[in-house]
Structure 1
Amino acid sequence: MKLPHLIFSTLIITTSPSFADNTIPGAPDWSTPARGVATEAHTTDIKLTLEGSSKQYTQAEIDDKFSAPDWFPQQHAPMPEIVQFGKKPKVWACASCHLASGFGHPESSTLAGLTESYMVQQLEAFASGQRIDYSGHMNRMAPLMTKQEMQAASKWFASLTPRSFITVKEVNTVPVTYVDSTRMRQVDLTKNTEEPIGNRIIEVAVDKEIIHKRSPYGQFISYVPQGSIERGQALVKTGNGKTIPCASCHGSDLTGSSIGPSLAGNFGIYTVRQLHGFKAGTRNSPQSAMMKPVVAGLNDNDIVDIAAYLSSLPIAK
C-alpha cells in the first residue's frame, strides 16, 4: 500500500558520539551548542514539498551536505558549484548550512547582506586559524577551498537580498528546550513547561517542520530577557560609558559600511559568540583588531543586551 505524502516524526532519545568543539573562552554554553543527544527521526524516502515551490525533495536529499536543496532557484542567480554541492570529501555545500537565501540558522550565521570582501576575509581567517569556529566546521573546510572558490561563494552570497526573519520577544520565562543533533534548539513538547530565561537568548523555529526542510525563508523567534532591548540600544547607540557607538564603523542603520559588516537582524546567539570571540582572542585576524577595545569593557549582561537589540533591528536596506 502506498504511504500518504507525509513526514512521520517521533522524538527519539539516543546516545550520540562526542563531537570536538572549539572552546570560545567566556562564551556561555547556550551560545555555542554542542551536538545534542535528542534528535527527531524522519522518513527519508518520501518526496516532500514546500508551499510556493514546484520542487520536491526527500528528507535524505534535504540533509545531504553535498547537494543543498534549492526550493526557489528562480529567486537568485545560479549557485556556484562550491555553494550548492561543496567539494567532496570534506567541504560541505555552503548553502546546506547557510541556505539558498543566505539567512542561515542560529547555529551557523546569516550571510545575506554581507559584502564579498568581508566574507573572503573571514574565509581566509578560518583557513589560517586566526578565526575559530566553535563547531570546528569552518576551520576544517576553509583550508581546502581555493581562493577562486572563496571569491565565488562570497560574491554569490553578497548578491542575495537581506530581509528580516527573526521576531524578538522580551520574556521572563521560556519554553523548556533541548539541542538536537544538528545543534539547533527545539521546544521540548514532551514537557510542555516553561523555565526562567535568566541571562540567555533562546532562539527557536516558528515552524520546525519547515526548518527541517531547510526552507530558505523559515521564521524564528528570539526570546530575550526583559529590558534587554532598551539596555542594548543604549550601549549600541552611545556606548553607555563602556564601549563606543557601533554606528561609527557599522553604518548609521547598522546594516554595514566599508569597514564594518552588517549587524542588524542577525541571530542573537551568533552575536554573543562573536563578541566573546573578540574578547577571548578566538577572532584574531588583522581586521579584528579594531573590535578588541570595543569589547574590553563589556560584561556578560552587556553582551546579551547588545545582541538582543541588534537582533530586533530591521535587516532590509
Structure 2
Amino acid sequence: MPEVVAHGRRPDLFGCGYCHLPNGFGRPENSSVVGLSVAYIVQQMADFKNGTRRSAEPDMGPPAAMIRVAQAATDEEVRVAAEYFASIPTAPWIRVVETETVPEIVVSRGMLVPVEGGETEPIGRRIIELPEDLARTELRDAASGFVAYVPRGSTARGEAIVEGETGAVACGVCHGSGLAGVGPVPALAGRSPSYTVRQLYDLQSGVRDGLWADLMKDVVATLSLDDMIAIAAYTASLDP
C-alpha cells in the first residue's frame, strides 16, 4: 500500500485510507474509489483543487476535507493513490433493502447509526444507509459493509429511469455496460446510494461543475428528489 494511502504526509495530508478505507470501498459520508479509472480520480482531484467540485451543503465535512487534501497533494501523490485504488477489484459492499420502516437513527461520527432500543420510524422519502456491524465500522474495518434501506418500489422505478424508459438518455450510454464505467466516466453499479444522490443534487445545483459536468447537466436538470432516490437505489443494487 502506498505511503500516501496508508499514512499521508503529515501535517498537510491525511492518508486516503483513513476515510476511504485501505481497500477504497469507502463509507456513506464519503465515496467508494475502488476500481475507478486513474483518469477519473486524477480529474476529480483537480476539480476539487481548482474549486469546480464543491458540495451543495457547505458545512458538510467530507467534501471540505477533500478540497483541503486536493490542495495539499502533489501531482505524484495523486497519481500514486489513483493507480493504487484503480488496481483493486470491486466487490459487493452494500445490501439494498426496500422497506416502509427503518431503525430510528441519529448522526454519529459523520454517519447514520441506529438508536439504542430498537425503535423504528417510517422511511418516508429517504435513503437510510447503515453499517451492517456498527462496532466493526467504527473500528474502520474494511471488510464490514453497509445496508441501504430504500422506499418500496424505488429500485424498479430507478431501473426504468436508468434504462431510458421514461424518456431520459439511458445511463449506460456513457457509464457503460452494467454501469461499470468507461475510461474517465465513473462506475455507478454497487456504489453508495447516499453518495449517488448527493452527486446528482450537486450536479443539478451547479456546485459540481468540473471537466465532465456539462455532459450531466441536461440529464439531471428535471430530476426530482424521488427520481434521484430511485436511481441511486437501483444503481446501488447492481453487482459492482
Q: Deviations over 1:191-244 (max 9, x none)?
A: x21111011000111111111221112121100000000000000001512x21
Contact map agreement 1:229 1:308 (CA 8 A) in 2? yes
2:94 maps to 166
Which segments of structure 1 move beyond 4 Å, counting only runs of 4 or more? none
* Residue 189 (1) aligns with residue 116 (2): yes
1:252, 1:93 → 2: CA distance? Answer: 33
Q: Give the structure 2 partner of residue 148 of structure 1.
A: 76
State whether residues 113 and 255 of structure 1, in contact with CA within 8 Å, keep that contact through their aligned partners in structure 2. Answer: no
Q: CA deviation at 1:166?
A: 0.9
Report the Cα distance in structure 1 between the residues aligned to 2:157 and 2:145, rounded to whole angstroms. Answer: 25
Distance 1:131 1:94 in 2: 18
Give the alignment of 1:1-317 within 5 angstroms.
79-133=1-55, 134-135=60-61, 136-180=64-108, 182-190=109-117, 192-241=118-167, 243-315=168-240
Cα pair 2:39 2:184 within 8 Å, conserved: no
Amino acid at match of 2:157: R
C-alpha separation between the residues in 2 aligned to 1:118 and 1:261?
Answer: 7
CA contact (8 A) 2:39 2:183 kept: no
Tell me the matched-pair count.
234
Whether the aligned pair in 1 keeps the contact of 2:92 and 2:239 (CA below 8 Å) is yes
SS in 2 for 1:238: coil
Q: Residue by residue, what CA displacement relative to the aligned partner does 1:241-268 show, whole Å, maximum 9, x if unpaired?
A: 2x21000000111011124110000111
Share of identical aligned residues, percent?
A: 41
Q: Tell whether the 8 Å contact from 1:250 to 1:259 is kept in structure 2 after alignment.
A: no
**What are the ranges of 5 or more consecutive residues in structure 1 without an aligned counterpart?**
1-78
Higher helix share: 2
Select the structure of larger CA radius of gyration.
1
Tell me by how many angstroms 1:291 deviates.
0.6
Task: Give the drift of 1:90.
Answer: 3.2
Equivalent residue letter for 2:175: H
> What 5-or-longer segments of structure 2 have no aligned partner?
none
Q: Secondary structure at the match of 2:173?
A: helix
